[in-house]
Amino acid sequence: MKKVYIVDDEKLVRKGIISTFPWEKHGFTIVGDTGSGEKALEFIKCNDVDLLITDLIMPGMSGFELIKNVQTERPDINIAVLTCHDNFKYIQDAIRLGVIDYIVKTEIEDEVVEETLERISNKMESKNSSFYAGDIRKEDEALVGGILICGRRQDCDAMKLLNLGIKGITTRLLIPIDKQTWIVPNYGNINEVVSTDGFFPDLDNKDWVQVKITDIYTPMNEEVSNTLKSYRWKILFYSYDPMHSNYRFSMNDVQSFENNTNEEKRNDICARWEKINWIYSDKDFEQLLSRTKASGIDRNSLWRIFSNIAAEY
């Protein structure tokens, strides 16, 4: 049986989770609980624990601090977090620390709980495979490429992606670029989990777009992240086709694109939209669309332009 320890400063939450979840059915047994991060760390140092489930926001030692301490003291322990629906940023931060899953406190229906425990159990069992053993990389290790994963809708978040249970898409490898975009970096080990064309074969194309990236050759850093963000919202945004799910691009493509565009051109395009002459001429409209695409005006800027036009007229 996998030994579980639960941490939450709300006693009723802890007791409710302990008493209502079908732990034994999924191979778990509860070995303790506490409302204090400090007490949890003391217990974990001296006792056998396979899975730590912790709230993130607590008085004293926060869940984030506890996670970091546990990973230092006991890196063999798997960690899941307790959260609420409005804690997206907290979940993202926890993912970056390496948690394997999450439990939403308000979703305690039998079907949801069963699915969550089965998912956590499967992740714990697969974590020891040869591929996952190589998940942790040095910060200065250079990439040879990667796969950019883009959610098609706003509700396509990181946990939805991780919960698909696709080999190679793990909490330790998945790096967030923004709320709808992540990269699975390739350090030379990704070929064993992707198809011959270089994409994840089991990723649902209705919800996700995959982009095979080449020509990175540097460690993952802020500059790489910003380049990927530019591609997502300035190039893929305009070339996106709902009928296509797989794309390819080179980092050099983004850099060349950025070199050929500038703020002055973007400001000129914005001014042309605001003059609304395009309403009366199909030719002007098509030309302006083409210039807008070439300028790389990002999605948020376009939204502001057309919101202002709609408000005025």
189 or 77, which is more confident? 77
Q: What would the two tokens of residue 43 be?
A: 């217990």
216 or 10, which is more confident? 10
Tell me: domain 2-128, CATH 3.30.420.40, correct? no
What DSSP line would sit under 136-180, residue for residue? ---TTPPP-EEEEEEESSTT--HHHHHTT--TT--TTT-EEEETT
| Domain range annotation of the chain | 2-128, 145-259, 263-312
- Residues whose CB falls within 8 Å of the CB of residue 126, separated by 6 or more in sequence, listed in order: 132, 167
Is the pLDDT confidence value at 98 over 70? yes
Phi and psi, residue 110, nearest 5°: -55, -45
99-157 pLDDT per residue, tens? 888 888 877 777 878 888 988 888 887 665 444 444 445 456 677 788 999 999 888 88
Q: Which residues of 251-267 are buried (b: 16+ CB within 10 A; e: fewer)?
A: bebbeebbeebeeeebe
Residues 313 and 307: their CA atoms lie apart, in Å, by 10
pLDDT of residue 134: 46
Residues 174 and 28: their CA atoms lie apart, in Å, by 27
Is the pLDDT confidence value at 228 over 70? yes
Residues 21 and 155: their CA atoms lie apart, in Å, by 26
33-62 pLDDT per residue, tens? 999 999 999 999 999 999 999 999 899 999
